[in-house]
Structure 1
Amino acid sequence: MANAEGYSSSPADTLAALRDGGRAPSRADKPRRIKLDAGFWVEVPSPRVLARVFAGPVLAAGCDLYASGAAILRRPAGDTRDPGAEDYHVLVEEVRAALDVLPDRPDAGRPYTDLRVYLLDGEPAEVRAYLLDVVRAVRVSAPRWRPRVEREERSAPLSATQRQRLSRERRRAAEAESSRVWLAEWAEEADPGSRVAAAGLYRRAADDIAGWVETYREDPESWAECEAEDGFPDVPAVPGPRTFYAVACTWSLRPPPRFTTRPPTC
């Protein structure tokens, strides 16, 4: 998602050109409807759409921007050194600062105007969680960083114990990411304030994610296209109950799951 990808010179113009109504091309592009404390609803762009039209270009301005695993990397444009990992919360502040200076525009569509209202009147913690989702969506669509590896600099082969530990870490990361993606989809469809049984929610998630795993194993290339277009995890993995509940109880969701019984990890 570097400047070479051809971003518009005016992210604000692109955002202002968005219009409401019509059918979203994919579930990940569906706008979010949010009820404010004042009692009225606003409809803001989905994190993926805001990442594509505004946050991505803002974060990539003057930079080469890449993704590596769960990290976002940046370096000054044209620099030949390896890019460094950025703090997600710092990136959230950059996006927020760019949004805060957006002017009132009579030519702007509802996504632009409602987003400005949400930033002013929305619950601060929920606004920050939304912008964090936007930054995560920037990572999903960013080009992958592939460092050059010189043969003479290759490290020694990993021992069996190191390989097992690395495999476990990757598995845990895949389970947590699969849980986050599934919960985000669930949160978009759930009735605000509804209560769910912890065991029932986990079974639904495990069944759905098992289907993702089967699709990934049968056709990895097709899955990669779905991951890029709809925000699915790179490598899906069915989480254990403890991992799933830990993500559900600590990750900022809208609406958050309200359990009828408290899971052991919450």
Structure 2
Amino acid sequence: MKKWNNIIFLVLSMLVVGCGDNDENPVGFYTSSGGDRIEGFSASVGESWLRAGGGSGVYKVSSSDESIVRAELSQEVITLKAYKVGQAEITIVDSREESATIEITVCPLIRTIEVMETRAFIRYSDGRDTSDVEEKVKKEIIENMDIAKGWQFKMVYDHWNGAYEREGKVTVYQDASQEEGIEGTYSMGNVENKIAYTFKYEDREHILQFPEILESGIARDTGPQKMTWIENYSAEYKEKYPDANFKEVVCILRVAIWRR
């Protein structure tokens, strides 16, 4: 009888240890896809995402400095809201009080706009082409607009408060080598009742109007997103060719936008 008691005690002990032992899958942080476990993470200012995993599966999350980065939890998805450049620790604790901590390094967000294609477009007041200068105007726009395929506009964002800064510094590269950039400024606001970026550098100014036409990419992608913007020359060419029946004269820019 004593022998059987010892066997039963041994089996129960193994079961208790097996149920309470979480070493095979401890609480930790994982990439947003839920794949690899990570021990540190670099985030750009703005929003990014991680996942909590292991432990009991029920978590709480906190940040050591919410002025730098705040963490919000929805089930196992952790949304990081990074407000400024710096470092902070994010801690998750499960319902068994097991925890894990990770250091978050917040870096500036760099958004690069690359021009993929440019072409001129003309629309007439009554829908009919009554002008004999269309090809001349289109050629003139492309030659004089001073933006060409391959140009890049690189903007750096140091802060985020739920929206990115609406003005700041931009570096303009006229080819893909990025060896000789031109320093300038950008601003974002309403121009003729449309949202637009205004780029100023040297003695040049470009106003690129939305609405942005999102062709591919999703909010959580790092890019590229493809968009179509316009630079509007209507007022200039209506005055230059008053009898041409122009309603709208624009240059269409197809651009790709990367962020990191």
Category of TM-score, reference length = shorter chain: under 0.3
Query: What TM-score do you get using the length of structure 2 for normalisation?
Result: 0.21
Query: What TM-score do you get using the length of structure 1 for normalisation?
Result: 0.21
> Between Structure 1 and Structure 2, which shows a larger proportion of helix residues?
1
